[in-house]
A and B are shown apart, each in its own frame.
Chain A
Amino acid sequence: MTARCPSDLALERHLLSPEGTALIGHLAACQDCAARLATMQRQGDDFLRFVYPATVEAVEAAAARPSLALAWRRWFALVPALGGAAALLFFLARPQAPPDDYLGTKGGGPLGLAVFVQDGPSPRLARDGEPVPAAAALRFRVRIARPCHLWLLSVDARGQVSRLYPTAGEGGASVEQSADLPGGAVLDGQPGPERIVALCAPAPLGWAAAESAVRASLGAPGPDSVRRAASIGGLPAGTAQDSLLLEKKP
């Protein structure tokens, strides 16, 4: 190979899109590179014949395993709080970052929650009670007036409370300032109301206490209970809260 011969990566690009590269002339004139390309094509054929059938199942299983996705690039999953059966929400993919101009849309309270829905080319701010695709991808941003211990959770018509952020640890995430919450989530595809709740406590607030307060405020599970549960009672003094209702549509 001479110094002017294309790299392996350039040849990969050529294999992907021959008309999109400027290598055709070189390949016609350079026997070495033509041979390299032929070898690469043969290796690709070998992959499809032998490697792919033997390994695709493991790749599919890895793709379907939420725990793998959770650790990647600070995504967080919507982890079901009730034993894992009939998961409410699950992680799927990373939506784009929300636009920067949303702060203030939730008023001037001590805690503001913004939910962004990725159902088009760019994320859009969801309004309270808005219909969204049942499997929409979501991202979240919080505006806080002072540092606090944050929980983000959701509750659905079956009464299932899901822990969204933080996904690990006790006491809630210590948040110093308004921020995009790392990661995102995807709704589970089940039609019905879903309420996203943010709690911001002045001191560490145990998950059990947060979950219990939400359950008590929901009362009997059902769609109307979720729609009415805009205010969570039984929280420690000084705990700020905000929530947003989403109507998941098929």
Chain B
Amino acid sequence: MSEHRSKAAELYRTWGPAVYRRCLRILKDQEAAKDATQEVFVKLIRDMSKLEDRETVLPWIYRVATNHCLNQRRNGSRRGEDFEAPPLELVASADHDTLPDRLLVQSILSRFDATTQTVAVGVLVDGMEQEEVAVVLGLSRRTVARKLARFLDLARHHVDRS
């Protein structure tokens, strides 16, 4: 069992920085990111063999950490906790130049399922190509495009109403 623990520590040292950066990117708070990193890694370490596969581990880490931290943002906001994550920073792209401001995107995010949230964050915040998001989520490129289109439609609808 001690071998198990030391292996976990080694994997944490290797992959923890990627988890921490992901959490910091979404939560924008060092203390919240620290807690989230530990929580995410406790999830990841349940499948230790997957963490040892350097070829596939990064997209998996990205997906799990993104889902977890988006949940943290949403739950913290719902509970009215002291920590409220600052707005996500959107990347510049022709696809969403007409999108409303960051706060609006953030409020719209919470109306979607976890997969759509990850798609939207991947494309709009992280600047990922849709194909890259598709690989991360194990979806087809067409599904990613459809989910993003639905998200953008709702965002535009909110802009029109306001």
Contact = CB atoms under 8 A, between A and B. Distances in A.
* A and B: interacting chains: yes
Interface of A: 1-3, 5-10, 12-13, 15-16, 40, 43-44, 46-48, 50-52, 54-56, 58-64, 68-69, 71-73, 90, 92-94
A13 B58 contact: yes
Interface SS of chain B = helix
Interface SS of chain A = helix
B156 interface: no
Given A50-B34, A51-B16, A94-B49, A62 B42 contact: yes
Given A3-B93, A54-B34, A60-B12, 7 more contacts: A5-B127, A7-B122, A48-B17, A59-B12, A64-B4, A68-B45, A72-B46
A51 B62 contact: no
Contacts of A44: 17-18, 20-21
Contacts of B58: 9, 12-13, 16
Given A44-B20, A48-B13, A55 B46 contact: no
Contacts of B30: 46
Nearest to B18: A12
B49 A59 contact: no
Given A59-B9, A64-B4, A72-B46, A7 B126 contact: yes
B21 to A, nearest CB: 5
Contact of B20 (A13, A47, A64, A93): A47
Contacts of B8: 59-60, 62-64
Name, among B7, B22, B34, B92, the residue most crowded by chain A CB atoms within 10 Å (CB to CB): B34
B16 A63 contact: no
Interface stretch (B79-87, B108-116, B128-136, B139-147): B128-136
Nearest to B57: A16
Contacts of A61: 5
A93 B48 contact: yes
Contacts of A59: 8-9, 12, 38, 41-42, 45
Question: 7 closest Cβ contacts across the A-B interface?
Answer: A63-B8, A44-B17, A72-B46, A7-B128, A55-B38, A60-B5, A47-B20
20 contacts: A1-B91, A7-B122, A7-B132, A9-B58, A9-B126, A13-B58, A16-B18, A40-B21, A47-B21, A51-B16, A51-B33, A51-B34, A52-B16, A55-B37, A58-B38, A60-B9, A61-B5, A68-B42, A71-B46, A72-B47
B148 to A, nearest CB: 15
